[in-house]
Each structure stands twice: as structure tokens, then as C-alpha cells.
Amino acid sequence: MGAGPLLALKALYKNFGGILAINDLSFELAQGELLGLIGPNGSGKTTAVNLITGFVKPSSGAVVYRGRTISGLPPYAIVRLGISRTFQMVKPFYQLPAYKNMIIPLCSPRVKQMAGGRYGDRDAVALDLLEEVGFERDAQVAYKSAAVLPQGYLKRLELAKAIALKPDVVILDELFSGLSLAEVASIVPIIERLRQEGKSIIMIEHRLKELFRIADRVVVLNFGQKIAEGRAEAVMASDAVKKAYLGVEA
């Protein structure tokens, strides 16, 4: 495998009953890279994530991970290869305390495989992971029912569920949406720490300022097509992006 990209999307198309949600999309993610994926609402970002993670099958084209075509595999099999994601719409198990929400990913075969064949004490691991994403242990937030947690904690919980799977690639679908500036500022270091651990990250974001501060590279989508790619400043300076994304006539 060696120098090839970790993950590559190759000429992907996705047709939803006449709507071309993804139109000839190709891009790559290098090992250890933080790639931003941006574009107006409805431009196909979530669909691109669904294609990578197997929740949606491509009409044509392929997703290649570590040199192996993964499009066509069921989503649970793709997760076991080390690609995990968060959902744009968080849907925790509201009637359960936060740490019990972590039990589901901690029951994953991926966790067992990464821990050398054993699961360990799930409750303890859950509490550790939640502390990592900012559930203050002293305040016992992890024991609170998900139903009473504010949005900021629910997003962190979503992030913790993805990290629990010990992934190599993490895909964050609008993790920051609906959060205050302070909440975003408190989550950014967690993402930076994931990078230092060597994880490769794809981040979908509308909060461009926060994204550009940490992204190595961005890909811009519009109507399912890639209209620009490169370093943040260069991409935002391009006329096509200004026009499509910001609605500014060049």
C-alpha cells in the first residue's frame, strides 16, 4: 500500500430517483490529514459521508480504503475496518444515562478486536471516554439522563461514541452546528488531540472560521460536484466558490 492515500473516492455518482445528489465526485484523504468538506445546504455533503460509510450505495464509482474497494460492503463491516462517523442529527437513547449510551459502541466487535480479544469493563471505559470529551467527572454529568443534557453535551456524546470504536478515520458531520462559540471552542482541542494521535479526519462544517483554523485542506461541493479543492485561503478566493457558496457575484 505504502504511499497511496488512506481513503479515496473515485468518480462517485449517486442518483436519488432523478436527483443527482453526488455528481462525479473524487477526492482523497491522506494518512493523518484533517480534510474539511464544505458546501451550501443540500450540496451532497451528508450523502458523500453516507457513501463512504456504506449507509448509501453509489449509483456508480467506488470508495477505496487502504487499497481495497469498500463500497458495497454493509455499513457495520466498514466500521469494523476503522471508519467511524457522527450523525448530523444526534439521536441518543434519551431514557438512558449518558454513560449507558456508550455501551452500544463498546459492544462493537471492533472494540474487542482492537483490545486484543476482550471487551473489558464497559462502564469504566465509558466513563473514561466521556471524561476525554469533556464530561466533567466531578460534576457526575455522565450519570445524567441523555434527556436532560444540553445540545453541547449530546454532540460530545456523539463524538465519544465515534472515538470509542478506536477508528483510524473519523468523519464528523456538522459536529458544531447548533453550538455556541464557547462550546465550539471547548471541542476544538479534542479534535486536535485526535489528530495528534494520528487519526485522519473528515470534517463537514458550516462554521468556516473554526474549520479553517484546523483543516489542512478543504473540498468544496455544490450540487453534488466538487467545485474547488486545496488550502482554505486559496479555495475561498476562487470565483466559483464565492459565487456558489457565498452567493457573491464575482
Partner 1 sequence: MERRKERIDRGIKVRAGDVFALCSWREMLYLLAPRLIPVLGFLLLPLILDNYWQKVLLSVAAFALLAISWDILAQSGMISLGQALFFGLGAYCSGVLTHVFGWPPLLALPVAALLGGLLSTLCLLPVLRLRGVYFSMVTLIIPLMLVRVVEATKIFGGTEGLSGIAPLPSKWIELYLIVGALLAALFGFRRMLDSDYGLVLKAIKDNDRSVINAGINIYWFKAQALFIASSLAALTGAFMTHVYMFVGMPVFALDYSILPIAAAVVGGPGTLAGATVGAVILVPLSEVLRGIGGLRIVFYGLFLVVFIVALPEGIFHYIQRKYHQFERWVEVQ
Residues forming the site for partner 1 (CB under 8 A)? 53, 55, 74-77, 79-80, 84-85, 87, 91, 93, 96, 100, 103-110, 122, 161, 165
Least distance in angstroms from the C-beta of 151 to ligand ADP? 19
Cα distances from 185 to residues 176, 181, 209, 211, in angstroms, run 10, 6, 11, 11
Q: From Mg ion, partner 1, ligand ADP, none, which one binds at residue 165 (CB under 5 to 8 Å depending on kind)?
A: partner 1
185 vs 246, which CB is nearer to ligand ADP?
246
Q: Which of 46, 50, 200, 222 binds Mg ion (CB under 5 A)?
A: 46
Q: From partner 1, ligand ADP, Mg ion, none, which one binds at residue 175 (CB under 5 to 8 Å depending on kind)?
A: none
From first CA to last CA, the distance across the chain in angstroms is 42
Grouping H, G, I as helix, E, B as strand and the rest as coil, residue 146 is: helix
Half-sphere exposure of 175 (CA within 13 A, CB side): 31
For residue 110, the tally of other CB atoms under 10 A from its CB is: 20
Q: For residue 152, with 0-12 CB atoms within 10 Å meaning exposed, 13-18 middle and 19 or more buried, which class applies?
A: middle
Stretch that binds Mg ion, among 25-33, 59-67, 84-92, 186-194 (CB under 5 A): 84-92
Buried b (16+ CB within 10 A) or exposed e, 230-247: eebeebbebeebeebbee
Cα distances from 122 to residues 13, 105, 143, 173, 248, in angstroms, run 40, 10, 14, 26, 51
Instruction: Supply the DSSP string of 176-187, one letter for each residue.
Output: TTT--HHHHHHH
Least distance in angstroms from the C-beta of 210 to Mg ion? 17
Least distance in angstroms from the C-beta of 12 to ligand ADP? 12
Stretch that binds ligand ADP, among 15-23, 65-73, 181-189, 191-199 (CB under 6 A): 15-23
Give dist(CA 217, CA 111) in Å, integer. Answer: 30
Per CB under 5 A, 50 contacts Mg ion: no
Q: Which of 10, 23, 26, 42 binds ligand ADP (CB under 6 A)?
A: 42
66 vs 243, which CB is nearer to partner 1?
66
58 vs 105, which CB is nearer to partner 1?
105
Q: Which of 19, 77, 124, 246 binds ligand ADP (CB under 6 A)?
A: 19
Q: From ligand ADP, Mg ion, partner 1, none, which one binds at residue 64 (CB under 5 to 8 Å depending on kind)?
A: none
User: Residue 69: in which H helix or E strand, if any?
Assistant: strand 68-69
Give dist(CA 206, CA 58) in Å, integer. Answer: 25
Q: Could you list the residues that contact ligand ADP (CB under 6 A)?
A: 16, 19, 21, 39, 41-47
Q: Could you list the residues that contact Mg ion (CB under 5 A)?
A: 46, 88
